[in-house]
Amino acid sequence: MIPIVTIEGSTASGKSRLAMLLAQRMETEIISADSRQIYKFMDIGTAKPTKEDIRLVKHHIIDIINPDVRYNAGDFAIDAGEAINKIHENKRVPIIVGGTGFYIKTLLEGIFKSPDIPLELRARLEHDAEVLGLDAMHEKLMQIDPDAGRNIYKQDKHRILRALEIFEHTGKPISVHWQEQQIVEKYKPYKILLSDERELIYSRINKRFDEMIAEGLLIEIEALLQMGYSKDDYGLTAVGYREFMPHFYEKAELDECIEKAKQNTRRYAKRQQTWYRRQDFNLILNPKDIDSELIENLFNQINNS
RNA sequence: GGCGAGAUAGCUCAGCAGGUAGAGCAGAGGCCUGAAAAGCCUUGUGUCCCCAGUUCAACUCUGGGUCUCGCCA
């Protein structure tokens, strides 16, 4: 099994700082697990590592695609797997850092092998949902796959249609795919969570967002629009970007956009915290704990485990 | 100073021919198997501004007071 370190935590919890210090001490490389830092041209709003950070420590899975390209957890598991292998071949322990918990979970625990779904099938289900209503779609799911149906809210169109498309395309209920999926035992992770009081995270978010504005977030967004990217491109649905679309498209008040962006970032952090409560970690740290002594202890602990 | 309108949940407001109240937003809790910075679920007790009066019963009616906002001086 390949040893790896993961660092998770909500936005503005100090992940990058810990990762940089630890990576330098371990003389290793960082793999980003962040569903928005994958996009080129989106630097300020996604709080990407600085040029200096990248110069000091090699970062993977950052700036890999344009903002109009879709990416998903399965893609991440493949890309991260490759990066891990490379780093491991050099006898280093990779550090995986990021706030996209689902990506890391997918990497560590695996995900069932889904075929690509034909666009026509997706469009047809989308159309059926429109005509028949979501309740009908959920009932349909309950008939073909009650195990999955029970676990999906009746209004969760996204997951209902996902389960239906998998059944129609593979002839097998999605819950059966889940059962058949084998557990991944490729990695031996040392999992670290950075956690802090909600109020402190919130005030750090608010402050950091003002800093992003000062650093030129608006200019960055304008540049994206000038390059031809629009609010319909997936990258621009990121928090801190989408809230400004009303400003550029309909001349909404800037102050209101900023408040909305802060609020959505806070809600995002809240959802992350909820997610992490359910995950297991080897070590839970407070951002205040990060100092050279801690890094030294971590270094030793990781080497000995 | 005069006239008018208002004062109800953190915010914006609704409501009751008198039977102690409810929406939206905010907030909180939760879910999560190729969209995860996404998507989705649950959740509303507060001196109904204060004092007095009428009444079996007042947030609701009457009188007074305080404050806020308009318009006129």
Nearest residue to nucleotide B40 when comparing alpha carbons to its C1'? A156
* Mean pLDDT, range A184-191, rounded to an integer: 92
Assess contact for A152 and A141: CB atoms under 8 A.
yes
Whole-angstrom Cα distance, residue A33 to residue A168? Answer: 31
Residue nearest to nucleotide B28 (CA to C1'): A270
pLDDT digits (tens, 9 = 90+) for A128-170: 998 999 999 999 999 999 999 999 999 999 999 999 999 999 9
CA A44 / C1′ B67 distance in Å: 47
**Beta strands in A18-167, from DSSP E residues, in sequence order:** 30-32, 59-60, 95-97
What is this structure's pTM?
0.91
pLDDT digits (tens, 9 = 90+) for A72-130: 999 999 999 999 999 999 999 999 999 999 999 999 999 998 888 898 899 999 999 98
Task: Provide the CA A267 to C1' B8 distance, Å, integer.
Answer: 29
Nucleotide minimizing C1' to CA distance for residue A241: B37
- A69 CA vs B51 C1’ separation (Å): 68
For residue A242, give the nucleotide whose C1' atom is nearest its CA.
B37
For the CA of A69 and the C1' of B66, the distance in angstroms is: 62
Please say if the pLDDT value at position A256 is more than 90.
no
**For a pLDDT cut of 90, what percent of chain A falls above it?**
88
Measuring from the CA of residue A78 to each C1', which nucleotide is nearest? B34
* Rounded CA–C1' distance between A266 and B14, in angstroms: 30
Å from the A265 CA to the B59 C1': 39
- A100: the nucleotide nearest its CA (via C1') is B36
In this predicted complex, what is the ipTM?
0.90
What percent helix, strand, coil does chain A show, rounded to 5?
60, 10, 35
pLDDT at A185 over 90: no
Chain B bases closer than 7 angstroms to a protein Cβ:
26-41
The beta strands (E) that lie in A143-234 are given as 187-194
Q: In Å, what is the separation between the CA of A263 and the C1' of B69? A: 30
Q: Which residues contact A25 (CB under 8 A, 6 or more apart)?
A: A295, A296, A298, A299
